[in-house]
Structure 1
Amino acid sequence: MDIDSRRPWASKPRAPVARLAAACCLVLLTMQAHAQQQTEAPASATDTTTQDQAKTLDSVKVTGIRAAIANAVEKKAEATSIVETISAEDLGKLPDVSIADSISRLPGLATQRVDGRAQVINIRGMSEQFAGTLLNGREQVSTGDSRGVEFDQYPSELINAVTVYKTPDAALIGQGLSGTVDLQTIRPLDLSERRIVVGGQGEYNSLGKLSDDGKERGYRASASYVDQFADDTIGVALGVARLNSPFQEQHYKSWWWADLDRVDWDGPYQAGRPLNAIALQGDEAWIKSRDLQRDGVMGVFEFKPNDRFHSILDLYYSKFDQDEITHGTMWSSASDFVGENGSGITYSNAQTTDKDGYPVVTSGTLNNVQPLVSNNSNRRQDKLFSVGWNNAFKLGERSTLTADLSYSRAKRDQSALELYAGRLDGQSIDFDLKTTPGYSQFTLPDMSDPNAVYLWDPQHYNHDGRLEISEQKDTIKAGRFNFNHELDNAVIRSVDAGVNINKRTKQKVADVFFAFLPGETPTLVDPSLLQSPVSLDFVGMGNILAFNPWTALDQYYNVELSESNDDLRKDFIVEEKINTYYVRANLDMDLTDRIRVRGNAGMQYITSDQSSTGFNAANESVVGSQTLGAQYSDFLPSVNLIFDFGEGWLIRASAAKVMMRPPINYLSADSSAGVSTTAPFVWSGSGGNPTLEPYRAYAFDLSFEKYFGEGSYVGLALFRKNLQTYIYRQNLDWDFSGYTPDPDAPPPISNMGTFSTWANGTGGYMRGAELSTALSGSLLSDWLDGWGTQLNVSYTESSIDPDPNDDSPGTDTIPGLSKVVANATLYYEKHGFSARLSQRYRDGYRGEYSALFGQRQYRNTLSERTVDFQLSYEFPETSALHGLTLLGQVNNLTDEPFRVEVSESTGTGLFFPEEYTKYGRQYMLGFRYEL
């Protein structure tokens, strides 16, 4: 059939943090001693302003890593906000897989790995939903179902620089509550000559080829062209980048743990299970082979005929194709599951292990289990397109008018197919379970025997397969007008005033189909459709039957549209009209003979008009739809002050009121609501809330910084955010006047009822500290010339409990909050040779992930420490190979696993391992050639 035609937290180790802190203290003491030895230096060498330091940095003839760090430190010193930056040299010379890998090394930032790759960015302990993302200063759409931008959509080869704003700026549009990430493409007239660069890398995954439909090798290729014409009045930049990358995964997950004797359990007691013992209630293991192909295109046209007019047109396009195949097995071992032969699941030879005073079943044999063999496919295509046109007009000698028009669009098409198979009779499974993170071990019967493993429904889901097809589209249309006027004033040097008009529309549609075998008769797979059996030996399960699910779907199954209330509620449209009016005074004055003060002060006035249309679902059918919304406004003052004491000493202070609009999926007008069928006949329901107002907070920052020239500095930043409101799941009194009741339900006694939804509630604080440094070895000794390091560590804590009505342990931290985040980089660069070793560490946190059937789920993610190594050699000017650089790179050098834990379900307060997944190492070898 043509489917398309149917479309309408526990304590964590602190060792790396202690080492980083000790290293920072040692470096500071060494530098202080070195500075004391230089007291006889001429005054002109030390008594400089930040602008003088910038000129000195400009004169340093270094390239590669050192040039990138020097540029980043210079931008950090000159910025009027607290920022972190990455330069083009850093990305171009030693490219990362995506821009997310590079951003995650900055102080106070951490990445969340999804499917083995860095994808979203958490700033200062807050999830990606709290961060704003810009491209060339313009707010960007997202490919997911909310606001969080997936940074792996942006090739590092096409991004020239990144600035992360940690404090607000009145003239910065689309700001986040935690911070704002601004990705910037190149400006061709900033270069003085033509630049042509081509590059390529081969890629290999250490897990090898895990299945016939997987691969272990891939490649990357890129090319860029930058040129200037007509006496440097016209500039053109073009860039293309392709990534064809294999990702492999070996996955194990324990479903849930419980002492079923502690609760009123409806199922039969399991024979052989020790009384009052905690037992695992289900397992799964699989291998996944994922083929990623990302094509990116960047174009910039710049025109500056004179000093009075400057025009820039920039475009960005990305197409991201993901095709992943999963082969695995799973089973439920809960006591209420009854096998096909009529007998329930029982235990034999069950042994227990003590865990904090509670017996836990850790070994033995499960009987009458019917493992399900799963062959699944997940196909996804994301398309991103952004275009912006910026025109600056000089009006007289002191005034400039800037007009900026932009359009951003993201579209995602996705299909998720799963087909089930298994043996017909109950099976016995030997098990040896871990109560700490790692792979548990199981012994299964041969699940790859083509004469014994049938297509059917072993776990009694009442269907033999499931297919979900979804699409979503996100668009932003924006226009901005800014007027800047320079003043002849000793305090206020210039003033900006402007307006930004923004309209955003996000919509999602999903259909769910069930697959049925004719007559629901178990069927053997034709041998011509079978692939080589897939090994699950990493968990001791042996081989399983493997086949392409799409081929089998076409040959064996009938497909019917079948949607539950939750499926129907996935469809929504959200519209936002956001107008931002702002004014900013740019400050620069001499407070005393030794203290210079610069910065900015201003305000934003934002008007918001939001609405959503969604379905009301009841009894697995749509009984109506509604459009709801809200209007509100916010006044957001901000001030950033930098006190420059000379000799590289700076103190920054910032205070502001900030806001972040709710996650878009929270605003959906979807609902499952109805009238009770027994008296009293009252309304009740659950769903999204289009009347939600933003997260609002007061933010305070203080930073102490010392710059040493040539890309070296030490900084200590303190921050606090007092959230006036946070968004919680609550039960609210609700007016159901706009809802259509089920025709078969009795008439309600009132339009009022109770609705479970997201709502604004009490806030709390977030506070923390960041210590960071970049140090050149030549500062300490000539023997260390070429060596350098970057170190940073941050600590964040919060008083906010995101689930005040949930007493379960491990749910009392906001999503994305790692109390400790640390990064360490050691590099050497000299005589064309360059090497860099980087480690990223983040403490355990509550991550937000896509879960079963596309739902969002919070999971207690354990600490992780990822290590990357990069090596390159650039041929000198005297060589015939000048312009050629050879590159080598290893990502995830230590093969760090992804680990998640889950709380025991019957109130013991214990945590057990949930998911343990390995992705292997990525080896890359290639070149970069600059003409």
Structure 2
Amino acid sequence: METHNMKLTIKLLSLAVATALAGGMNAAIAQEQVAQEQNEDTEVIQVRGIRGSLDKAVGIKRTSSGVVDAISAEDIGKFPDTNLAESLQRITGISIDRNNNEGSQVTVRGFGPSFNLVTLNGRQMPTSNALGNDSAGGRTNSRSFSFEEISADSVSGVEVFKTGKAHVSSGGIGATIDIKTSRPLDLEDNTLMFKVQGNIDTSNEKGDDITPEVSGLYSKVFETDMGNVGLLVNASFSERHSRKEFVAINGWIGDRNNEWQPGIDDSNIDRSKNPEGYYWSPQDFSINTSDHERERTNAQFVLQYAPNDDWVATLDYTLSRYDEQIERTNIAWWYDFWKVEGFTDANGTVVKATTANHRINHYGFYNDLETENDSIGLNLTWQATDELKFELDYHDSTSESQPDGTVAENLAILSGKEFDDDLTLDMTNGVPIATILDRNGDSFTTEGLMGDLGIARGYQVKNDIEQIQLHGSWELYMGPLVALNFGVSNTDFQYDSSRRLQFSFLSELDFSELDIDWVKVNGVPGLNTAAEFDPKHLLELGEEQGLIAPEFPADLDRVEEETTAMYVSADFEFEVAGYDVNVNAGLRYEDTDVTGSSESNLPYAYQYVTISELLPLYYENGATLESIKASYDEYLPNLDINVNLTDDLIARFAVSRTMTRSDLPALSPATNLTMYRPGGPYTAGQGNPGLEPYTSDNIDLSLEWYYTDASYVSIGYFDKSVENFIGTDTEQRIINGADGTPLTDPSINPRPGCPDGENPQCQSQAGDPVMNWDVTTPMNMEDASVDGWEMALQHVFGETGFGTIINATFVDGDVEYDVFSVEQTVALTGLSDSANFVGFYEKDGIQVRVAYNWRDDFLLKTDQPARGDEPVFTEAYGQWDMNASYDINDNFTVYLDAINITGEDARSHGRFKNQLIDSQEYKTRYAIGVRGKF
């Protein structure tokens, strides 16, 4: 929904761009061409070390139109950090999300990963994820790029476009981040680089204490009579073994007037803050220990041919392989809503919750995650004349999760034989304290366990992007008009996702052959012992004994987008009142056709299995196909003005319009039943292929003073007004099953002999109460605005070798999440202040760099792992890192990296701080290695 002010802004912006372009063309026609500056031989200075890389990055920032930040490699194969995300967080306005204590995704100016476009050499890259929304605290199936999958060794630089540019692919309201890799014709004639490194993760308990990381790059230029041929081969392999320990609650269940939980005392609620008397109780509680073994392989092959100075052809192939195996031990229990007793605090959090006559669950998880990324591309550049240049670029890139069809996650559950335990979770002081009353004393003995469930689940995903782009630039130097830039592109985007699920009841399982160890877990007082076993072996026993059920019918979702884009921009240079002024005015037009389709299965009935479980029942061939088409187009103008107030002082003003497309799960039309507990609640989600993209009108102002080499100070203000912000609309409705009749709940007023996993009388019948589902659908609902300040200081202390980088970003938005409202549908995720400090020393072959990165608390998402309508807040986090190196000679360097030196932990919560979602223990990681270059 577009407001009058937004319409007026875009009209004025388009008019300004059109006027600038027209004025430039008129000036070009009216005036004679001014001779270009004469070419002079310049000395080539090799960039080396911290200071050299900072100087190069400053040069990119200083000479760019609009607001652009950059990081440059210190040397071939020597990026500042081994993880790209951890390098990017040092840029003003960028903060990161971590997965298992490693940088994974980036947030720019308060806009989370889905609002930022990541490209590789200007090409849009695909992404996939095997765990999808089932990955508690991890990534979801979205467009967000994961930096864990790419090694930094092949990266020569990263440019971050914070303002819209006509020639830059759309998709980044926060920023467009372009990763640059090396090309042989850009390097010295003959280059060889290698690195051998040992990784030490102090969290590791089961794996190797030292794991290898190796990389190598070879580049060669062959001069022939037919022109120059360049060859570059780059490869890397990294292995990491680690342990992750955390406590978690998958969701907080909202209730009012004791609808679900009559045993809760809500008399403490402060009705002045919470007039409706809503309260929230934990859905479950778990203590987890997971051991990770990760392998990452990257490779790139580049072949270039330049028959003369006018032509360069580049053929490249890039691959990455990311494999991770995770073994997790989990001790947990679930709350049966109608049996919970306890009391709330003043906000409405159930700070003490007890469920009586229940049992402890011991989980064994095994994840086998595989992601394969492949990209092949061809680039042709032609210097048609001294003034006119063309570039044609084509690539076909694919990201595929679980390419061999392996199920991403297998889990098995052993539980107490009797429902004889009283389980209490006390969150009164914000720290979980678990209390167990075990009447028979056998909940933590092998003899007291029985088989419970076996589950296999995950996604098989394939994302393919085929893109062709034509760029042209015409250097005119006709009066104030310096150059015209133009281009056209076509992008075919296809995303296929197949959800896998197998659900088996193992109450009759004979697991006498299973090895079970009782181990201590770093949990909470009262609950620190768990049964450790091999879930793969347990499921194999279930298969041998005929207890493993067939896999549920797969749900297939596909999103197809075809985007045609064209752009034109002009560069102007002129003088006003004695000041040099540079202007870039551009207009990008994009037209997108969207098709969202789903082949989905709905159950025809539910089996009432236990007092806490309903099992959906499916027909063998009951899938229904649904397909919806939509389209939209957008005009994306930009106007950048740089004024050189002095030789070293630059003022910038930029206005632009940018866009971000909706996340992929939101575009699939299928109805997904997400929760169905006996007696309720029943929740579901449904996508909306007709969603319009987010669009943002942006204003940027900055002042930058480059007072000496590699040193500058800057201050900037930004304002982003976002339209079509996507919220959720939840309505209660009846859902018809596969047989066309409403789904019913057999657990309410159950028949004799129920619950039972086999008894047909425990299946849904027509006379059972109809299930009223809370169905959540994404909608374009509201507008939102974000503004903030960015401040940065980079200073090199003369020839002392010392230097520092200090920056901070302060962000504010007009749509804050109201923790007392259960009806809010729109919220800005990722919005937080951040700050960075880097101090370094570089002299006489010695390099030392210490960095501190801090990010304030922020709203991570509005869907908890098991609740589609509840928020997750990430608490403030700061981390110290350090690296040091010594140049033995011109060819060899030894180095040491230390990440998270003080072992900071991470925590997230729901509406209030005592609504724990997870608390993760992070430890220090080290890397020791040697680097060689010839």
User: Please, what TM-score do these two structures have when normalized by structure 1?
Assistant: 0.80
C-alpha separation between the residues in 1 aligned to 2:566 and 2:817? 32
Deviation at 1:823, TM superposition (A): 1.0
State the AA in 1 paired with 2:109: R
CA apart distance, 1:119? 0.7
Q: How much does 1:694 deviate? A: 0.9
Which of 830, 841, 846 is residue 816 of structure 1 equivalent to? Answer: 830
Q: Are the equivalent residues in 2 in contact too, given 1:259–1:276 (CA < 8 A)?
A: no
1:209-288 map, 5 Å: 209=205, 214-230=207-223, 233-254=228-249, 263-266=257-260, 269=263, 282-288=284-290
Measure how far apart 1:656 and its partner are.
Answer: 1.2
Distance 1:447 1:384 in 2: 49
Partner of 2:316: 314
- Matched-pair identity in %: 21
1:192-211 → structure 2 map (5 Å cutoff): 192-209=188-205
Amino acid at match of 1:635: Y
In 2: Cα distance, 1:104 partner to 1:308 partner: 39
Matching of residue 797 in structure 1 with residue 812 in structure 2: yes
Structure 2: how far apart are the matches of 1:550 and 1:913? Answer: 30
Partner of 1:96: 81
Which residue of 896, 899, 918 corresponds with 2:907?
899
Q: For 1:754 and 1:427, locate their aligned partners in 2 and report how far apart those are by CA, in whole Å.
A: 33
Counterpart of 1:412 in structure 2 is 401
Aligned to 1:174: 170
CA-CA distance at 1:456 after TM superposition? 2.0
Of stretches 503-512 and 854-863 in structure 1, the one that deviates more from structure 2 is 854-863
TM-fit CA distance, 1:98? 2.0
CA distance in 2, matches of 1:376, 1:850: 23
1:55–1:281 distance in 2 versus 1, CA, 3 Å = farther
Aligned to 1:654: 654
3-state SS of paired residue (2:200): strand
Match of 1:295 in 2: 297
Q: Aligned match of 1:496 in 472, 481, 485?
A: 485
Counterpart for residue 919 of structure 2: 916
Q: Secondary structure at the match of 1:411?
A: strand
Alignment-derived partner of residue 779 in structure 2: 759
Is the Cα contact below 8 Å between 1:534 and 1:546 reproduced in 2?
Answer: no
Counterpart-to-counterpart distance in 2, 1:537 and 1:128: 31
437 and 75 in structure 1: CA distance in 2 versus 1, 3 angstrom threshold: farther
The change in CA–CA distance for 1:195 and 1:282 in structure 2 (over 3 A counts) is same
1:868, 1:890 within 8 Å by CA — same for their partners in 2? yes
The answer to whether the 8 Å contact 2:871/2:910 transfers is: no
Q: Does 1:515 align with 2:504?
A: yes
CA shift at 1:452, angstroms? 2.2
State the SS of the aligned residue for 1:669: coil
Partner of 2:892: 884
Instruction: Quote how far apart the aligned CAs of 1:155 are.
Output: 0.7
Q: Tell me the amino acid that sits aligned with residue 447 of structure 2.
A: A
Verify the 8 A CA contact 1:500 1:580 in the aligned structure 2.
yes
Pair 1:515–1:55, CA change in 2 (3 A): farther
How far the C-alpha of 1:541 sits from its partner, in A, is 2.9
Structure 2 distance, partners of 1:544, 1:672, is 33
Return the alpha-carbon distance in structure 2 between the equivalents of residues 444 and 220 of structure 1. 49
Structure 1 position 417, deviation (Å): 1.2
Equivalent residues in 2 for 1:479-494 (5 A)?
479-494=468-483
- The answer to whether the 8 Å contact 2:47/2:56 transfers is no
Cα gap change, 1:281/1:431 in structure 2, threshold over 3 Å: closer, same or farther? Answer: same
Cross-structure match for 2:692: 693
**Residues 460 and 500 in structure 2, CA contact (< 8 A), matched pair in contact too:** no
Give deviations 1:832-854, integer Å, cap 9, x for gaps: 11111111111111114996589
Inter-partner Cα distance in structure 2 for 1:167 and 1:439: 45
**1:249–1:287 CA contact under 8 A, matched in 2:** yes
CA contact (8 A) 1:815 1:858 kept: no
Q: Equivalent of 1:552, from 506, 514, 538?
A: 538
Task: Measure, in 2, the Cα distance between the counterparts of 1:630 and 1:607.
Answer: 11
On the 8 A contact 1:667/1:688 being kept in 2, the answer is yes
Distance 1:854 1:511 in 2: 20
Change in 2 beyond 3 A, CA 1:636/1:206: same
Aligned equivalent of 1:645: 645
Give the direction of change, closer, same or farther, for the CA distance of 1:444–1:744 in structure 2 (3 Å limit): closer
Gaps of 5+ in 2: 1-36, 130-140, 270-278, 605-617, 674-682, 744-772
| Structure 1 residue 614, shift from structure 2 partner | 1.0
1:361 CA displacement: 5.3
The question of whether the paired residues in 1 share the 8 Å contact of 2:728 and 2:826 is answered with no
- Pair 1:205–1:504, CA change in 2 (3 A): same
Partner SS, residue 487 of structure 1: strand
Tell me how far apart the structure 2 counterparts of residues 873 and 283 of structure 1 sit (CA, whole Å): 49
Cα distance in structure 1, aligned partners of 2:636 and 2:221: 41
State the one-letter code of the partner of 1:693. E
Identify which range, 882-891 or 712-721, moves more after superposition: 882-891
Structure 2 equivalent of residue 23 of structure 1: none
Name the CA distance, whole Å, in 1 between partners of 2:128 and 2:150: 12
Q: Report deviation, 1:378.
A: 1.5
- Tell me if structure 2 keeps the 8 A contact 1:435–1:913: no
**Other-structure match for 2:746:** none
1:25-62 CA distance string (max 9 Å, x none): xxxxxxxxxxxxxxxxxxxxxxxxxx99x999x88777
User: Partner amino acid for 1:452?
Assistant: E
Asked if the contact 1:810–1:860 (Cα under 8 Å) also holds between the matched residues in 2, the reply is no
Equivalent position SS for 1:183: strand
Q: What is the distance in 1 between the residues matched to 2:901 and 2:107? A: 23
Amino acid at match of 2:196: G
- Structure 1 residues 259 and 138 mapped into 2: Cα distance closer, same or farther (>3 Å)? closer
Distance 1:226 1:430, change over 3 A: same
Instruction: Tell me the distance in 2 between the aligned counterparts of 1:115 and 1:582.
Output: 41
Partner of 1:631: 631
Q: Counterpart of 2:477 in 1: which secondary structure?
A: coil
Q: For each residue in 1:481-535, what CA deviation from the matched residue of structure 2 results, as whole angstroms up to 9, or x when unmatched?
A: 2232221312111112211011110010112111233xx32544425x3457353
2:29 corresponds in structure 1 to none
The one-letter amino acid of 2:317's match is L
Decide whether aligned partners of structure 1 residues 447 and 524 sit closer, same or farther in structure 2, where only a CA change above 3 A counts: farther
The alpha carbon displacement at 1:590 in A equals 3.3
> Quick one: which amino acid aligns to residue 508 of structure 1?
S
Structure 1 residues 436 and 928: CA distance shift in structure 2, 3 A = farther
Q: Could you tell me which of 301, 304, 307 is aligned with 1:305?
A: 307
Distance 1:447 1:385, change over 3 A: farther
Residues 295, 324 of structure 2: 8 Å contact kept: yes
Q: Distance in 2 between the 1:514 and 1:220 partners?
A: 39
Q: Matched residues in 1 for 2:630 and 2:94: separation?
A: 33
| Alignment correspondent of 1:183 | 179
The one-letter amino acid paired with 1:762 is: E
Report the equivalent of 1:526. Answer: 513
C-alpha change, 1:607 and 1:255, in structure 2 (3 Å) is: closer
Q: How many residues align?
A: 810
Label 1:659 to 1:598 Cα distance change in 2 as closer, same or farther (>3 A): same
Q: Give, as a single letter, the amino acid of the residue that structure 1 aligns with 2:538.
A: A
| DSSP-derived class of the 1:650 partner | strand
- Spell out, residue by residue over 1:741-794, the C-alpha distance to the aligned partner (whole angstroms, 9 max, x if none): 854479xxxxxx99852222221211111001211122xxx6xx1111111100
CA gap 1:791/1:269 in 2 versus in 1, 3 angstroms: same
Contact 1:249 1:920 in 2 (8 A): no
Equivalent residues in 2 for 1:782-861, closer than 5 Å: 785-800=800-815, 807-808=821-822, 813-818=827-832, 820-848=833-861, 852=865, 858-861=871-874
Look up the equivalent residue of 1:922 and give its one-letter code. R
CA distance, structure 1, for counterparts of residue 266 and residue 313 of structure 2: 76
CA contact (8 A) 2:817 2:824 kept: no
Cα distance, 1:71 vs structure 2: 1.1
Residue in 2 that maps onto 1:19:
none
Cα distance in 2 for residues equivalent to 1:387 and 1:409: 9
Report the more deviating stretch, 620-629 or 373-382: 620-629
Deviation (angstroms), 1:121: 0.7
Unaligned segments of structure 1, at least 5 residues: 1-50, 338-344, 458-463, 674-683, 747-752, 877-881, 905-909
Alpha-carbon distance in 2 for matches of 1:855, 1:185:
40
SS at match of 1:571: strand
Distance in 1 (alpha carbons) for counterparts of 2:98 and 2:777: 29
